[in-house]
C-alpha cells in the first residue's frame, strides 16, 4: 500500500490516504484503500478511522476519466470505488471519517461510507460531477439522499456546488464540526469509546439498519447511468474542459 498508510493504534484501525497534494482518487489509490479496508476488518480491531492529510480526497483523478474517451473501455474507477465504499459501510464495527480540506466527488462518497463524519471548520464537501457532464458513480446519488433527504440531495447533485462545514452540519451530512487541528484527535477519542463498547451488538445493529437501507438496487442503477454518460457529448466536453481549465460548453447531447 504505497498510497495509503494503515496502522493499528490499540484496537482502532486507522486508514490514512497519502497521495498528496489532494488525494485525487486514481486506480492505485482506490486499490490501496480496498486493501486497507480489508486490514481494518480484522477482529482485533473494534473501530476504524479513515482520514487524509491536508485534504481528505478532492475527487477522482480527472485525467483518468479523460483516458476513457481515448479507448473503447468503460471507466472502472467508479465501480471499483463503489465496491470499496460498500465494504467500508459493511464493516461490522463503528467507522468515522475525519475530514479536512476537500471531500469532493468520490471523496465525499468515500466519507459517506463511514458511520460518522467529523469535519474541520474549513472543510468543503460536495458532488461536483454534474459540472463534468456526468453524475456521482460510487454511491453519491444513493447515500446522499438517505443522509440529507430527497430535495436537498437533488439540489446538491443538480448544482454540483460545494458545501461548507457549517451547512453540512445543518444538513446532517456532518456529525461534528471542529477546528482543523482537532478533527483527527476527536475522531480517535470517539473511536476509542466505540471500541470499548459491545462490538458484536454494534455490528448487529449496523447490519440490521443496513438491511433496511435499500441501497443495493439504487447503486446498480447509479453505476449503469454513470457508465452510459461516457457515450455523451456533454461528458466528453465537460472532462476536456476541466483538463484544459476552461468553461464547459454543454450542448445537452
Greatest CA separation found in the chain? 55
Is 90 inside a domain boundary? yes
Per-residue pLDDT tens digits for 67-94: 666 655 546 777 899 999 999 999 999 9
Strand order in the sheet with 124-126: 102-104, 124-126, 163-164
Check 24, 103, 129, 139 and give the catalytic one. 129
* 204 counts as catalytic: no
* 190 counts as catalytic: no
- Give the cell for residue 168: 453540512
Is 101 inside a domain boundary? yes
What is the tally of structural domains in the chain?
1
Q: What are phi and psi of 102, to 5 degrees?
A: -95, 135
Is 73 inside a domain boundary? yes
Give one word for 120, left, alpha or beta, with left for phi > 0 and alpha for psi -120 to 50. Answer: beta
* 153 counts as catalytic: no
What's the CATH number where 119 sits?
Answer: 3.90.226.10
3-state secondary structure of 93: coil
Is 210 inside a domain boundary? no
Is 214 inside a domain boundary? no
pLDDT of residue 127: 97
Is 235 inside a domain boundary? no
Q: Cα(237)–Cα(219) distance, rounded to whole angstroms? A: 25
pLDDT of residue 65: 63
Question: Cβ contacts of residue 97 below 8 Å, gap of 6+?
Answer: 49, 50, 51, 56, 103, 110, 111, 113, 114, 116, 117, 118, 187
pLDDT of residue 67: 62
Is 237 inside a domain boundary? no
Residues of the chain below pLDDT 50: 74
Check 98, 105, 109, 153 and give the catalytic one. 109
Domain that holds residue 147: 4-183+190-195
Check 82, 101, 105, 106 and give the catalytic one. 106
pLDDT of residue 7: 97
Is 177 inside a domain boundary? yes
* 60 counts as catalytic: yes
Check 40, 47, 60, 123 and give the catalytic one. 60
pLDDT of residue 228: 84
Amino acid at each position: 500500500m504505497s498510497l495509503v498508510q494503515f496502522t493499528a493504534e490499540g484496537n482502532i484501525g486507522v486508514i490514512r490516504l497519502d497521495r498528496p497534494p489532494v488525494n485525487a482518487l486514481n486506480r492505485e489509490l482506490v486499490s490501496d484503500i480496498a486493501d486497507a479496508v480489508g486490514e481494518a476488518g480484522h477482529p482485533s480491531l473494534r473501530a476504524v478511522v479513515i482520514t487524509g492529510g491536508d485534504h481528505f480526497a478532492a475527487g477522482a483523478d480527472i485525467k483518468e476519466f479523460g483516458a476513457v474517451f481515448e479507448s473503447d473501455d468503460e471507466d472502472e474507477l467508479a465501480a471499483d470505488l463503489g465496491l470499496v465504499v460498500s465494504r467500508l459501510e459493511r464493516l461490522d464495527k463503528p467507522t468515522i471519517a475525519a475530514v479536512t480540506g476537500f471531500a469532493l466527488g468520490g471523496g465525499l462518497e468515500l466519507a459517506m461510507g463511514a458511520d460518522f463524519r467529523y469535519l474541520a471548520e474549513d472543510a468543503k464537501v460536495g458532488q461536483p460531477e454534474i459540472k463534468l457532464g456526468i453524475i456521482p458513480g460510487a454511491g453519491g446519488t444513493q447515500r446522499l439522499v438517505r443522509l440529507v433527504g430527497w430535495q436537498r440531495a437533488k439540489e446538491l447533485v443538480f448544482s454540483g456546488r460545494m458545501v461548507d462545514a457549517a451547512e453540512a452540519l445543518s444538513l446532517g451530512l456532518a456529525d461534528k464540526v471542529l477546528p482543523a487541528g482537532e478533527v483527527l484527535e476527536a475522531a480517535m477519542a470517539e473511536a476509542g469509546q466505540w471500541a470499548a463498547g459491545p462490538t458484536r451488538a454494534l455490528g448487529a445493529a449496523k447490519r440490521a439498519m443496513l438491511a433496511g437501507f435499500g441501497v443495493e438496487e439504487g447503486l446498480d442503477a447509479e453505476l449503469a447511468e454513470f457508465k452510459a454518460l461516457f457515450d455523451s457529448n456533454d461528458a466528453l466536453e465537460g472532462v476536456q474542459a476541466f483538463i484544459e481549465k476552461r468553461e464547459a460548453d454543454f450542448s445537452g447531447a
